[in-house]
Copies of this chain bind each other. A is one copy, B any other.
Amino acid sequence: MSTRITEYSVGDLARLSGLTVRTLHHYHAVGLLPPAHVAANGYRVYRRAELERLQEILVYRQAGLPLAAIAEALAGGPDRAARLRRHRQTLVDRARQVSASLATLDRILEQLSGDRIVTDQDLYAPFDPARQQAYEDWLIATYGPEMAEAIAASRAHLATAPDGMAARMAELKTIEADLVAAFTAGHDPAAALARHRDWVAAMWGRDCPPQAYAGLADLYGAHADFVARYEALAPKFSHWLPQVMRDWAARQPG
């Protein structure tokens, strides 16, 4: 059984990959994907290594990277899997961008729906976070302190929009990581529990007194959703967490 090296023409590879011949010509011309060799008749010949390289190019292309950036990424170390894992962060950042665009649109819709004066310069504030802050300061100064509440209520609404949710979930992840560390290492979880209680209050948009926090502990211990989530973090963690939450709540004033 001999090992055959499979070779492909440019048309073969175009069909395999879903690209056009023209694109593969272009990628050769710019040095992004040279063929294995060029035959005596001038035809391009591609082999497995080129196919794998093209697969990676397609990943970066799908994410919208310019070809120069793709070439850089391909040169970013010998381990393909490591390169692709590194690239994953780019995609996550892209997801955040889309979320930010949604937030911008929501702020503009808010401008349209209110009866407040929107100055010419403030039309473009939603596209720039620093100017948005200045705009909000001006709103409060102009219309009075109850405007701060309206902005906060609006922001609470926006905080549950995609970009805000990602930040909140990221925060929850760090709190849970600290709780798991306390559980596995036998440390005092009080500080992490306080942060968790604050997180819950922010999520609710109101305070979370000790009785409510103890009630939440009951829910965590009793509901399959939460048990599944916490068991996935560490075995038996789903039993431990409600207990320390109740103990911690019992020690709080009020």
Contact = CB atoms under 8 A, between A and B. Distances in A.
B55 A123 contact: yes
Given A162-B170, A165-B173, A167-B95, A87 B105 contact: yes
A223 interface: yes
A134 interface: no
A98 interface: yes
Contacts of A55: 108, 123-124
A113 B81 contact: yes
A123 to B, nearest CB: 5
A105 B127 contact: no
Contacts of A85: 109
A169 interface: yes
A120 B16 contact: yes
A156 interface: yes
Interface string A91-102: 110111011011
A148 interface: no
Interface stretch (A33-41, A137-145, A184-192, A228-236): A228-236
A169 B98 CA distance: 12
A181 B156 CA distance: 21
A205 B8 CA distance: 41
Interface in A51-104: 51-52, 54-55, 58-59, 62-63, 80-81, 84-85, 87-89, 91-92, 94-96, 98-99, 101-102, 104
A239 interface: no
Given A17-B124, A225-B203, A84 B108 contact: yes
Given A101-B62, A108-B59, A212-B224, A18 B84 contact: no
Contacts of A117: none
B228 A219 contact: no
A121 interface: yes
Contacts of A160: 228-229, 232-233
Interface of A: 6, 8, 16-18, 48, 51-52, 54-55, 58-59, 62-63, 80-81, 84-85, 87-89, 91-92, 94-96, 98-99, 101-102, 104-105, 108-109, 112-113, 120-121, 123-124, 127-128, 156-157, 160-163, 165-167, 169-170, 173, 200, 203-206, 212, 215-216, 219, 223-225, 228-229, 232-233
Considering the complex of A and B, which 9 residue pairs feature the smallest CB-CB distances, nearest first? A81-B112, A162-B173, A160-B232, A55-B123, A92-B163, A95-B98, A157-B232, A92-B166, A95-B170
